[in-house]
Chains A and B, each alone.
Chain A
Amino acid sequence: MLLELDHIEKRYGGVTALSDGSLTVQAGEVHLLLGENGAGKSTLMKIIAGIVERDAGRMLWQGREVHLKTPAEAAAIGISMVHQESLLAPHLTVAENLYLGREERLPFGWVRRQRMIESANRLIRDHQFPLRAEWRVEKLTPAGKQLVEICRAILHGSSLVIFDEPTSSLSSSETAEVFRIVRTLRDRSVGVIYITHRLDELQSVGDRVTILRDGKTVHSGALAELTTDRIIQHMVGRELSAIYHRDPLPPGDELLRVEGLNRKGELHDISLSLRAGEIVGMAGLIGAGRTELCRALFAVDPIDSGRVFVCGREARLRSPQEAVEAGIALITEDRQITGLALRLPIAHNITLANVRGISRFGLLDRGAQNSAARDFMGRLRIRASSARQLCGRLSGGNQQKVVIAKWLFRQARVFLFDEPTRGIDVGAKAEVFNLMHELARSGAAILMVSSEMQELLQVADRILVMREGRITGELPGRSTQEEIMRYAALETVSEEIR
C-alpha cells in the first residue's frame, strides 16, 4: 500500500472541514476522489500534499506514519500535486518552472541554463507532450500549463501524483491527452489520485473510487461495481430524481435579436434571436467563440459591424454599463474573477448591479439592502451564516447563486449564462437549472453556453452550435450529442492542439 489515510480530521477555526476522511492508494492505480464542493476533498488533498496539517487521524506513507508540514516535505518523499489553478510563474520559461526550487546547487547560486533546457526537452520528447522547454509559461493555454505541472511531477520522480480537477478548463481533445498521461503514469506504477466533477469521464480513467460527503468517507471500492446513479446518490446523500426535463413554454416577445454581428478574428456573421420564456443552448468546442460572443453582446469587447436589438429596440452598446441598462445580464464563466467581489459580503454583491434600487435620497438604505439580500438568499437557497458573510468563503455553487441573485435583483430580461455549472457540484447544478427554468417562466430570455452537451440537451429548448466564430447549426432541444458534434467539430477535431 502506497498511502493510507485513516480517520483524518481537520478544523479551520470553528468549521469542521473533515471529520472522518479515509483513503488508501496503491502504486499503479488511478484512484478517483469524488464529492460535492465542500465535502472535504480539497482539504484531504492538502493534508496529503503537506499544505495543511491534520488535527487527528493517521497518515501512513509506504507503511510508515508521516507528519508533513510543508509541500517541500511532501515532494521530498515523492508526493506531488497538479493544481486546478496553475501555480506556475508566468514570466519564466517551461524549463525554469520545471526546476523551480530544485535547481542544481552550484557555487554562488549559479544556474546552468542550457543543461536545464536540454533535460527538460528530453523529458517532454519522451512523453510526446506538445511543449518546448524554452516557451514562456504565460503564453501557454490552460492545458499547456497543466502539462507543465504534470512534467514537474514526473521530473521529480513522484510516486504519488494528485490531479485536482485537471479537465475542468480543457477541451475534449486536451482531456483525452490528460487521460493518456494519467494512464502512462499508472503504467509506470505511479499512484494517482484524481479529483473530478465530471461524472462522464470516470470510466475513462479510474480503477477505484472514494466518495466523500460532509467531511466523511462514505464509500470506497472498485469503480466497476458502481453505477453513475449510485455514485450521485453517495455524493448527495439521496436519490436524484429526474428533475430536468420540462415542456418548453410558448415563446413570447423577441427580447434579443442579433443581425450579422462581426468582430475581427473572433466572430463572423452571427445572427440569432431569443424570445421571452426561451432557454437557448450554445454548444461548441473550447475556442469556438462562444465566450467571445457573450462578451461582445455584453459590450465588454467592441463589435466591428452588425446590429443588436434588445426588447425590440436597437441598442448600440458601448460598455457593460450600457448593456446592463438595456437589460442584459452576463453570468461569466469565471465567477471569481469577473463575477464577484470576493472580499465583500453577500449583501453587497447581490445589490451591486442595482445600488439605485436600495438608495433613498442618494443614501444607501441598509434595511432595504438587507431585506433584499435575505429575500434572495431564501429564494435561491444560498447557504451562508448571514448576509454579511464574505463571498470568498462560500462554496462554488453558492457563489454562482449569488451572481444570479445579483442579476435577478437588477431585473435583467436577457440572461447570458456562460458555463453556469463549471466547478459546482451536482446538487447545486440542479438548483441552477431550476432557477433558469423559473427565470424563463417569468418571461426572461436565456442563452446558455455549456461545454457539457448532456446538460444542454437536458435544459435547452433549442441548441445553437458554434465553430470558429460562426454559428454552424441549430438543433431542436431533443437532439443527440452526435448531432451537436457534427456541427461543432466537422473539420476541426483532428487539427486541434495536437
Chain B
Amino acid sequence: MSGPALERVQVPAVPAKSRRERIALQRLLPFLSLIILFIALTLASPNFFTSTNLSSVVRQTAVINIMALGMTMIMINGGIDLSVGAILAMGGLLGTMAMESGMSIPMGVLVGILTGLGCGLANGLMITHLRVQPFIVTLGTLGIFRGITLIISNGLPVHRIPEQFSYLGEGNLLGVPFVLWILVGCALVTHVILEHTRLGRYTFAIGSNREAAVYAGIPVSFHTTAVYAIGGMLTGLAGMIEASRLMTGQPTAGQGYELQAIAAVVIGGGSLQGGEGSVVGTLVGAFIMGLLSNGSDLLGVSPYLQQAIIGAVIILAVTLDEVRKRRTAAA
C-alpha cells in the first residue's frame, strides 16, 4: 500500500498544546460564568449564600433541570419537544389523581412518570412514522396533551393528596433537598446514556447527519422514538415534583416551561441543528437561569426586567458559543 504524497501530514503550525488549552478554556466558559455569577451574588447580597436560599434555588430549578435533561437528548438527536410543558401538567395531574383515588405515593409517582413516557412515545412515533418535523408534531401535541389534561380534570386542580407527598419536592435527605438527589441521579443516568451507550452514540449520529445514520444501518426511527420516550419520562417525573411542591395537581401547570428547558440546553452549548450538547452543559445552563432569577429577586430587580435579562443571556451565551465554534473550525 504505497501511494504518493502520504507522508505529508497537515499539522497546525502553532504548538498543539496551547491551542488545545485555549479551546478547553473556551469550552469552560459557561461553567466559569456560573461560578462568577455565584461569587458576584454572594458578594452582592447577604441573603444569597445561605442554606435556605440555596436549597430554594435548587428546588426551583430542579423541575426545569430534569425536563432539560430530556430535552438535551432530544435536541442532540436533532429534534425538539415543545409539548413538555403540557406533558408535565398531564403527568402531575394523573399522578395526583391516582393518589387521590387511593394509590400509594410511589405508585402515584410511577403513574406520573408512565404518563410522561406515554406522551413522549406518542411524540416519537408520530415524528418517525408520519415524517413530520418534530417542531410541528410537538406543537400539535402541546395543544392535544394540554386539552386532554383539561378535559380529564374538568379544568379543576387535584387537592386531596397525602401530606407525605410533599417530601418529594420539599423534603431533605442527608441535609440537602431530596430533589437534588433525584436531579443528580437523573443527570448521571442521562450522561451515561449519552456518552457510554449505543443509544447515546446513535443519538449524536442521527442529530449530526440523519442520512448518514440511515446509510450506516442504524435503526433511526427506533432510536429517535426512544429519545422522545425518555424525554417524556423525565418530564413526567418533573411533573410529579412540581405537583409535590404545589401540593396540587394543576392542569394548567408548566406553561412556558418548554422554552426554559430549551434555553437551558442552548446556553449549555446545545444546538437546534442537533449533534451537539451535553448533560453538564445543560445543568450549567439551567443553574445560570436559576441564579439569575433568584439573584434578581434578592436584589429587588423587577420581575419584568428579569425576563429581559434572561432573554439577553440566552442570546449572549449562544453568540459566544458560535464565536468559539467558528474559531476552532479552521478551514
Contact = CB atoms under 8 A, between A and B. Distances in A.
B276 to A, nearest CB: 7
Nearest to B19: A14
B13 interface: yes
A341 B204 contact: yes
A274 B196 CA distance: 38
A114 interface: no
B322 interface: no
Contact of B10 (A38, A238, A324): A38
A397 to B, nearest CB: 10
B310 to A, nearest CB: 28
Contacts of B209: 337, 340-343
Contact of A348 (B9, B12, B204): B204
B165 interface: no
Among A238, A321, A410, A426, the most chain B Cβ lie within 10 Å of the Cβ of A321
Interface residues of A, number: 63
A430 B14 CA distance: 31
Interface string B198-210: 1011101100110
B317 interface: no
B217 A325 contact: yes
Nearest to A437: B1
A355 B202 contact: yes
A356 B198 contact: yes
Contacts of A11: 13
Nearest to A392: B329
B104 interface: no
Interface string A320-331: 111111000010
Contacts of A395: 10
Contacts of B198: 355-356, 359, 362, 364
B260 to A, nearest CB: 26
B51 interface: no
Contacts of B3: 243, 381, 427-428, 430-431, 434
Contact of A14 (B9, B195, B330): B330
B210 to A, nearest CB: 9
A323 B14 CA distance: 45
Contact of A320 (B9, B16, B201, B215): B215
Interface string B178-210: 000000000000001001111011101100110
A112 interface: no
Among B19, B275, B330, the most chain A Cβ lie within 10 Å of the Cβ of B330
Contact of B217 (A332, A341, A343, A353): A353
B5 A238 contact: yes
Given A300-B215, A330-B215, A338-B212, A12 B331 contact: yes
A195 to B, nearest CB: 16
B108 to A, nearest CB: 31
A438 B1 contact: yes
A348 B275 CA distance: 12
A11 B327 CA distance: 12
B79 to A, nearest CB: 16
A323 B218 CA distance: 11
A57 interface: no
Nearest to A328: B217
A278 B6 CA distance: 27
B14 A342 contact: no
A351 B9 CA distance: 23
Contacts of B197: 359, 362-364
Nearest to A351: B201
Contacts of A431: 1, 3, 6
B106 interface: no
Contacts of A337: 209, 211-212
A34 B8 CA distance: 18
Contacts of A390: 329
A332 B212 CA distance: 10
A385 B5 contact: no
Contact of B6 (A323, A385, A427): A427
Interface in A334-353: 337-344, 348, 351-353
A167 B6 CA distance: 27
Among B4, B215, B218, the most chain A Cβ lie within 10 Å of the Cβ of B215
A323 B4 contact: no
A403 to B, nearest CB: 9
B330 to A, nearest CB: 4
Contact of B5 (A36, A342, A351): A36
Contacts of A322: 217
A408 interface: no
B1 A320 contact: no
B1 to A, nearest CB: 5
Nearest to A12: B330
B130 interface: no
Interface string A30-44: 000000101000010
Contact of A364 (B9, B201, B214, B327): B201
A15 interface: yes
A119 interface: no
A393 B325 CA distance: 13
B11 interface: yes
Interface of B: 1, 3-6, 8-14, 16, 19, 192, 195-198, 200-202, 204-205, 208-209, 211-219, 275-276, 327-331
Given A325-B217, A362-B198, 13 more contacts: A324-B217, A330-B215, A337-B209, A343-B276, A352-B212, A359-B197, A364-B196, A385-B10, A393-B330, A393-B331, A406-B216, A431-B6, A434-B1
The 4 closest A-B pairs by CB, nearest first: A324-B217, A14-B12, A12-B330, A341-B208
